[in-house]
Amino acid sequence: MREIGDSIQDRFRIRFAIRLALRESSYGFRRIGVFMGSIALGVAALVSVHSFRADIARSVQDEADVLMGGNARFSHDRPMPPPIAAVIDSLRETGAGLARVTTTMSMVSAPRSMEVRLLQVRALDKGYPFYGDVTTSPVNRWGAHLDPDRALVDPAILTQFGIQVGDTLVLGLSRLEIAGTVNGLPTDLAYQTAIGPRVHISQATLERSGLLANDGLARFEILLQLPDIEDRRGIRERYQDVLQVESVNYSLAEEQAERLSNGVRYLARFLGLVGLGALLLGGVGVASAINVYIREKRQAIAVLRCLGAGQATAFVAYLIQAAMLGLLGAMAGVAIGVLVQQQLPTLLGNIMPVVVTTRFSPTSALAGLGIGLWVSLIFALIPLLNIREIPPLAALRHDFEERNQRWDRAKLLAYGLLGLSIVGLCVIEAPNAEIGLGFALALALAGGLIVLVGSGLRLVARRYVPASSSYPVRQGVSNLFRPQNQTVSVMLALGLGAFLIGLITDVGGNIQGDLTRSFSTGRANMLLFDVQPDQVDGVSGLLPEATRQYLEATPLVSSRIVSINGRSVEDLLDEPTSDESPRRFALGREYRNTYRERLGVAEEVLAGEWWDDAQVPGDSGLQRTDGLAHVSLEEGIADALRVTLGDTITWDVSGIRIPSIVLSLRRVDWNQLEPNFYAIFEPGVLEQAPQTVVILAQVHNDAQRARVQRELIERYPNVSALDFSRVQEVIENVLVRVRQAVGFLGIFTVLAGAIVLIGSLATSRVQRMREGALLKTLGAKRAQVLTVLFAEYFALGLVATGSGLILALGTGTILVPWIFEITYSPQIGALSLIWLGVVGITVGVGFLGSIDLIQRPPLPVLRQTPE
C-alpha cells in the first residue's frame, strides 16, 4: 500500500498539487467562480427533486395504514365467495379487527329539493376506519351512520342537492336522515371527494334498502386490523392459492400506499430529468470556464514545467482546483435545493395523495453533492487534458505556436467517460431506461447540432456579414468569436437551455391539449345509462339542441358465456384448475357486450381483423355459412378465458344461444371515460336482443346540465345520469399543477444558461474593456459602442435560442406521436414567447455586464497591461 502511495506521490506530486491548488483557489474562484453558479443551480434542482421524492415516499408510507383505514384488505367485485368467507371467519377467531366496506352506485333523491343524482353509497361496519380520525360536522358525529336509517354524507352532496343536515335522502327502499357531513375521512385522497361525493351508511341500512340485489357496480371490501406486519404477510402466503382461484384481491396497506404515490413519483422522476438538464448545462459552463482558465494559466503552467513539474503534476493541480470549485458549487446547490424542496409540495398542492411533509434528506443532499462534483469534474476533464500539451518552452517564448490539439487515448477516454456519465445519469434519473436513453440521445443530438450551428455562424460571420452593413454591426458580429468569449460554449448552454424549456413547453402543451380534448371541451361530460332503446330519441330530445350532434349512443347487451369451443362452462368449472384452464371469474361473470361497425377511439386491433366498411354484414360468405357471429375480444379477457383467434364462444343472451367466433383481439385503453367492452359483436346479430343504451353527451353549461338531470328524473326515472364535469375539473387542476412544477424547475435551466453567459462576460471583460476604449479613442460615439454590443448579444441570443427551439420543435414532432401517441400540433405561440424572452435575457445580461466598461474613460483602460 505504502509503496503504491509513494509511487503515486512520485508521479503526481500530489502534495505539491494540493498545496498549489489551495494557494491558487481564491484567485480561481474570483476568476471563474461565477460559472459554478450554473452547477449550483443544477444541483439545487436535482437535490430538491430527490428530497421531494423521499418526502413523498416517507409521507405516504407514514400514512399507509391511515390511507387504507386498516392494515390490509380483501376486495372483490361480488360478495366474498365461501372459501374466502371461511378464511375471514378464522381470522375473526384469532382476534383480528374486521370491518366491511361495501361501495356501490345508486340514484339518490332528496325529496325536499327534488334533486336526483347518481351517487356513491358506502356501507360500513363499526370500527372503520381503524386508523386516523374522521372529522364531521356537527363535530363527533362519526358513528351516526351506524344507526338504522341515518346517513352521513360528503359536504358536496348538500350543496349539489340544495339540502341541509337533518333533511331526508331516498335511497332504494329506504328513507335516510342526514345526521351530518363527513368533512375529512383519513382514507381519502385529497381530490377524491370531488370525483364522487358519497353517502355513508351502515351495512344493515344497505341491506334494508335492497340496493345490491341486481348490481354489477358494487365493490366488496373487508379491512383488517393486523398491526403485526408478519401476520398480514402471512395471510397472503397461506391463502395465496384460494385467493387466486377466487380472484379475490388481497393487499397490504404499504402496497396500496406505494401504488397511490406511483403517479406522483413518476412525475417527480420527470422533474428529475428537468433538473438533470439544468445540471448538464452547468457542466457546459464548467467546461467553458476551465477552458478559459487553462488558457490564461498557460504561462504559469509552462513555468511550472520548467521548474520540474511533470505533465501529470500540473494536470492534477488544476484538476484539484476544478474539483474544489465543483464541490463549492455543489454545496451551494444543496443549500438552495433544500430551500426549493420546501416549495415543491406547495406547487403540487392538492394533487398529492397525502399531506407531504418536508424533511432534510441526507441521501439526497449527498447524492446532489456527488453528482454535482462528478459532473463538474467530468466536464472539466476535457479542457484540463490540454494542460499536458503546454510545453515548458512556452515560458521562454510568449508567442509559441499552439500545438495542434491531439487526439490521444486519454482524450478519447475523457469523452467516453463524459458520454457514459451523461447516459448513466439520464437513465438513473428518468422514469425508465428508455426515456433516459431517449433523453440522453436528444441532448446529444441537440448539443451536436447547436455546436454545428455555432461553428456555422462563425463562418457566416467571417464571410457573409454584408460589407454594406454598418461598421458597429460587423464589429459586433465578429466580436462573437474572440477566443475568450467562449461563444460556442455560451451558444451550447443557451441553446440547450432553450431546447429543454422549449421541449417541456411543446410536449407539455400537446399533452395538456390532448387531455383537454379527451376530458373536457369536445368530449363527453355526461353519461346516461339504463336508457331503453325506445327512449333514446326522447332522452336525446332533452339535451340542448346544439349538443345533440355530439351525442353517442351505445347499446349494452347482457350476456353470459355458455360454452367455449364446444365445452360447457359447467364442465370447465368442474375441471381441476391448472394454468391452462380458463379463469373462474371470467367464465362465471355477466358480460355487457355491444355491437358496432367501427373501432372505438380507445381501441386498437392487435390480431385478426375488424369488420370494416368493405365487409358489410351479410356480404362475407364465411360468417353466414358457418352460422357463427363474429366477435372481437379484449386481449386481457381473451387471455383469462384462454381463447384466441378462431376459437368459438357460445353466449346466452336472455335465453337465446348465440354461437360466435373470435375474429380479432383488441387492446383497450381503459383510462377513458367512454364505455369500453370486453366483447364487441359485429352489427347484424344482436340488434333484436334485449338491451339498454348508454348515451354520452356533451353539455358544457352547468345550468343546462342540472336541468337535463332534473327533467330526466321526471320523464325517464329509470335512466341514471353521471356527471363527469367535476372529474374533468380535477384533471385540469392536476395538469395545471404539473405544468407549474415542471415550468418552475425549467426556469433553473434557463438560469443555468444565463449564468454561463454571465461567466463568459466576466472572463472576457478585460478584453472587451480594451476594445471599447480603443473604439472610443478612435472616435466612436457611445451609441456606436452600444450598437456593437447589441449586435453581438442579439446575434448570439437569436441564433442560440432559435436553434434550440427549432430542435425542440423537431424533437416534439417525433416524440409526441411516438411516445405519447397523440397527434402533434406545434406550440408556436408559446415557443415564440420563449424565444423573445431568452433573447431579451441574453441582450440584457450582455448590456448590464458591459455598461460600466463603456462608461470608463479610455486612457486608464488602455494603460493597464493585459492580463
Partner 1 sequence: MIVAEGLQKSYTSGGRPLPVLQCIDVEVAQEAFVSIVGPSGSGKTTLLGLLAGLDQPTAGRVYLDGVDIFGLSEDGRAEFRSQNVGFVFQTFHLLPTLTAIENVLVPLELKGDYKGAYDQAEALLIRVGLGHRTGHYPAQLSGGEQQRVALARAFANKPKILFADEPTGNLDQATGEGIIEMLEELNQVSRTTLILVTHDMALAERAHRVIGLVGGRIASDRPGSVIR
Spatial distance between the Cα atoms of 751 and 274, rounded to a whole number of angstroms:
13
What string marks each residue from 544 to 563 as x (binds partner 1 by CB under 8 A) or -? --------------------
Q: Which secondary-structure segment (H or E) carries 629?
A: strand 629-634
Distance CA 336, CA 752 (A): 14
> Contact between 802 and partner 1 (CB under 8 A)?
no
Place of cell 457514459: 420
| CA pair distance 693, 80, nearest whole angstrom | 30
| Residue whose C-alpha cell is 434519473 | 429
Q: Helix (H, G, I), strand (E, B), or coil: what is residue 650?
A: strand
Cell numbers given for 406: 491531439
Q: Closest CB to partner 1 among 16 and 847?
A: 16
Instruction: Please tell me the total number of residues recorded for the chain in this structure.
Output: 867
Q: How far is the CB of 409 from partner 1 (least distance, A)?
A: 16
Shortest CB 302 distance to partner 1, Å:
8
Alpha-carbon span 457 to 796, nearest angstrom: 9
Neighbours of 335 (CB within 10 A): 15
Which of 58, 61, 89, 93 has its CA nearest to residue 74? 89
Position 863 contacts partner 1 (CB under 8 A): no
Site for partner 1 in 300-339 (CB under 8 A): 300, 303-313
| Intra-chain end-to-end CA distance of the chain, in Å | 44
Least distance between partner 1 and beta carbon 33 (Å): 14
Alpha carbons within 13 angstroms on the beta-carbon side of residue 245 total 14
List the x/- string, 684-723, binding to partner 1 by CB under 8 A.
----------------------------------------
676/668 Cα distance (integer angstroms) = 7
Helix, strand, coil percent values for the chain (each to nearest 5): 60, 15, 25
Beta-ladder partners of 680 = 594, 632
C-beta closer to partner 1: residue 306 or 423: 306
What string marks each residue from 398 to 417 as x (binds partner 1 by CB under 8 A) or -?
x-------------------
Nearer to partner 1, 8 or 814 (CB): 8
Tell me whether residue 299 or residue 777 sits nearer to partner 1 (CB atom): 299
**Do the beta carbons of residue 42 and residue 278 sit within 8 Å?**
yes
* Binds partner 1 by CB under 8 A, chosen from 395, 528, 680, 791: 395
How many positions of this chain bind partner 1 (CB under 8 A)? Answer: 31
Q: Based on CB atoms, which residue is closest to partner 1, 24 or 429?
A: 24
Given the complex with partner 1, which of 322 and 500 has the nearer CB atom? 322
Residue type, 525: N
In whole angstroms, give the CA distance from residue 650 to residue 636. Answer: 19
13 counts as binding partner 1 under rule CB under 8 A? yes
| Binding region for partner 1 (CB under 8 A) out of 9-17, 58-66, 515-523, 617-625 | 9-17
CB of 39 vs partner 1, minimal distance in Å: 22
Q: Any residues with CB less than 8 A from the CB of 388 and at least 6 apart, and which?
A: 311, 314, 315, 410
Region binding partner 1 by CB under 8 A among candidate stretches 11-19, 260-268, 568-576, 818-826: 11-19
C-alpha Rg value of the chain to the nearest Å: 35
Binding segment for partner 1 among 19-27, 76-84, 625-633, 711-719 (CB under 8 A)?
19-27
Least distance in angstroms from the C-beta of 308 to partner 1: 2
Which C-beta is closer to partner 1: that of 408 or that of 609?
408
Region binding partner 1 by CB under 8 A among candidate stretches 217-225, 331-339, 385-393, 685-693: 385-393
Task: For residue 556, list its beta bridge partners.
Answer: 692
Q: Least separation, in Å, of the C-beta of 6 and partner 1? A: 10
Q: Between residues 263 and 310, which has the closer beta carbon with respect to partner 1? A: 310
User: Given the complex with partner 1, which of 14 and 515 has the nearer CB atom?
Assistant: 14
Residue 156's CB is within 10 A of a number of other CB atoms, namely: 16
- Residues with Cβ < 8 Å from 34, sequence gap 6 or more? 289, 755, 758, 759, 762
Q: Does 19 bind partner 1 (CB under 8 A)?
A: yes
Kindly state the smallest distance separating residue 312's Cβ from partner 1, in Å: 7
What's the min distance (Å) between Cβ of 744 and partner 1?
40
Nearer to partner 1, 393 or 851 (CB): 393
Least separation in angstroms between CB 13 and partner 1: 6
Q: Count CB-CB contacts under 10 A for residue 710.
A: 16
Q: How far is the CB of 395 from partner 1 (least distance, A)?
A: 6
Q: What is the H or E stretch that residue 201 is in?
A: strand 198-202
Residue from 15, 409, 463, 863 touching partner 1 (CB under 8 A): that is 15
When binding is defined by CB under 8 A, the residue of 81, 186, 196, 391 that contacts partner 1 is: 391
Phi, psi (rounded to 5 degrees) for 175 = -110, 125
Rounded to whole angstroms, how far apart are CA atoms 171 and 198? Answer: 12
Span of 10-18, 86-94, 346-354, 473-481 interacting with partner 1 by CB under 8 A: 10-18
Considering the complex, state which of residue 304 and residue 727 has its C-beta at the smaller distance from partner 1: 304
Q: Interface with partner 1 includes 263 (CB under 8 A)?
A: no
Q: How far is the CB of 765 from partner 1 (least distance, A)?
A: 17
Residue of 5, 7, 23, 434 interacting with partner 1 (CB under 8 A): 23
Q: Kindly state the smallest distance separating residue 303's Cβ from partner 1, in Å.
A: 5
Among 85, 393, 413, 616, interactor with partner 1 by CB under 8 A: 393
Determine if residue 566 is left, alpha or beta; phi over 0 gives left, psi from -120 to 50 gives alpha, anything else beta.
Answer: left
Name every residue whose Cβ is closer than 8 Å to that of residue 364 and which is 6 or more positions away in sequence.
47, 50, 51, 53, 54, 337
Nearer to partner 1, 22 or 601 (CB): 22
**Residue from 299, 350, 405, 701 in contact with partner 1 (CB under 8 A):** 299
Cα–Cα distance between 341 and 452 in angstroms, integer?
Answer: 37
Please identify, among the stretches 213-221, 393-401, 737-745, 774-782, the one whose residues bind partner 1 according to the rule CB under 8 A: 393-401
Query: Which lies closer to partner 1 via its Cβ, residue 248 or residue 380?
Result: 380
Q: Pick the closer one to partner 1 by CB: 310 or 538.
A: 310
The residue within the footprint of partner 1, chosen from 259, 397, 406, 657 (CB under 8 A), is 397
Q: How far apart are CA 764 and CA 756, in angstroms?
A: 12
Locate 733 and state its grid cell.
387542476
* β 603-608/656-668 pair status: antiparallel
C-alpha cell recorded at residue 761: 462576460
- Is-contact 147 227, C-beta < 8 A? no
Shorter beta-carbon distance to partner 1: residue 258 or 296: 296
The interface mask with partner 1, positions 26-45, x = CB under 8 A, is -xx-----------------
Amino acid at 399: D
Q: Which distant-in-sequence residues (6+ apart) come within 8 Å of 717 by Cβ?
A: none
CB of 800 to partner 1, least distance (A): 33
Q: Which of 308, 860 has the CB closer to partner 1?
A: 308
Cα–Cα nearest to 666, from 641, 634, 709, 714: 634
Q: Of 20 and 98, which CB lies nearer to partner 1 in the complex structure?
A: 20
Residues in contact with partner 1 by the rule CB under 8 A: 9, 11, 13, 15-16, 19-20, 23-24, 27-28, 299-300, 303-313, 391-393, 395-398
